[in-house]
Amino acid sequence: MDFLQPTTWAEALTLRAERPDALPIAGGTDVMVDLNFDRRRPGALLDLGRVAELREWGADDGRIRLGAGVPYARVIEDLGAQLPGLAMASRTVGSPQIRIRGTVGGNLGSASPAGDAHPPLLAAGAVVEIASAARGVRLVPAAEFYLGVKRNALEPDELIAAVLVPAAAGPQQFCKVGTRNAMVIAVSAFACALHPDRGAVGTGIGSAAPTPRRAPEAETFLAGELEAAGLWESRGELPETLAAAFGERVAAAASPIDDVRGSAAYRLHSLAVMARRAATWAWNDYRKAA
C-alpha cells in the first residue's frame, strides 16, 4: 500500500485523479478502523494532513468556510458563536482524542447516517464545496450530498475542500440520544436552527434513515405557524401543542430501522421528544435575545 503525502491542494487533487485506488485520509478515525478490520484494502492512502489550506476556516459574507480538515476540537473552540449547532454536535463526538483527530470533512466523506456533523449542517443549510483537478469547484447543498448508507455525491476524482455554513442568524440546538452518557454513537439525533432573518426553520435528522435528512414538512409547518401567530414579531411563548406537533412531524420524516443500538419505534419516539424540546429551547433563546 502506497502512502501519498501531497503538501498542496493542487497536488492533492492531481493525485486523487491519478490514483483512483487511493483512499483519502484526514484524521483517520474512520479509515484506520476500516483498515484494522480489513473492511478496505486500498491501493494507497492519500494523506491530506499536510495540506495546510484544509485545516483553515474563515468568514466570508455571512458564511463560514470550514476547511475539510478542521478537527472537532477547533470547531468547539473557535466557532461556538457562529456555528452553535455544529459546535454542540462536535462536543458529543467520541472522546477528547477523537475530537482532536476527527474532522468534519471526514464525517462527510464517510457519510454515515449516524455522523453527528450532518444534522446541524442540514439544519443550517450548509453547502459542500467539492473540487477536482479536471473540473474545478462545484457546490452541493448538504441535503443533496448524502445519497445512501455511507454513500455521498463525490465522484472518484473529487475531494471535499470545505463546507460553507451560513453563520447562525438565530438560535440553534442539537440533541443526540445514546445509551451511555459519553463516547457513544447516536441512536437518534436531531438538530434545528431558527432563521428569523427569513422566517424559516431548519432541521436535520441523524441515525433514523438510510441517510441524514431534513424534515421539510416539519420545517414549513413550524415556520408557517410562527408566522401565522405573529410570533416571530411578538416573540411570545411557543405553545406546547405547537412544539409537540412539530415533534410529531419531525418523527414522520424519519424511516428508521431496528438494530442493536435501538428499535425503530424508539428512534421515532425519541425524535419526536428531542424535536419538541429542541424547538422549545431554541425558541426560548430567541425570546431571550430580544
Ligand X SMILES: Cc1cc2nc3c(=O)[nH]c(=O)nc-3n(C[C@H](O)[C@H](O)[C@H](O)COP(=O)(O)OP(=O)(O)OC[C@H]3O[C@@H](n4cnc5c(N)ncnc54)[C@H](O)[C@@H]3O)c2cc1C
Q: Least separation, in Å, of the C-beta of 126 and another protein?
A: 20
Q: Which lies closer to ligand X via its Cβ, residue 80 or residue 94? A: 94
> Interface residues for ligand X in 166-185 (CB under 6 A)?
185
Q: Which does 290 bind (CB under 5 to 8 A by kind): another protein, ligand X, none?
A: none
Q: Which stretch in 11-19, 202-210, 224-232, 265-273 sits in contact with another protein by CB under 8 A?
A: 265-273
| Given 30, 86, 127, 142, the residue binding ligand X (CB under 6 A) | 30
Q: Which lies closer to ligand X via its Cβ, residue 25 or residue 165? A: 25
> Interface residues for another protein in 80-109 (CB under 8 A)?
88, 91-92
Q: Is 268 in the site for another protein (CB under 8 A)?
A: yes
Q: Which lies closer to another protein via its Cβ, residue 132 or residue 172? A: 172
- The C-alpha cell that represents 241 in the structure block: 401543542
Q: Which does 203 bind (CB under 5 to 8 A by kind): another protein, ligand X, none?
A: none
Per CB under 6 A, residues contacting ligand X are: 23-31, 33, 48, 68, 92-94, 98, 101-103, 105-107, 109-110, 115-116, 154, 159-160, 185
Residues that bind another protein (CB under 8 A): 36-38, 88, 91-92, 173-185, 187, 260-263, 265-266, 268-270, 273-274, 277, 281
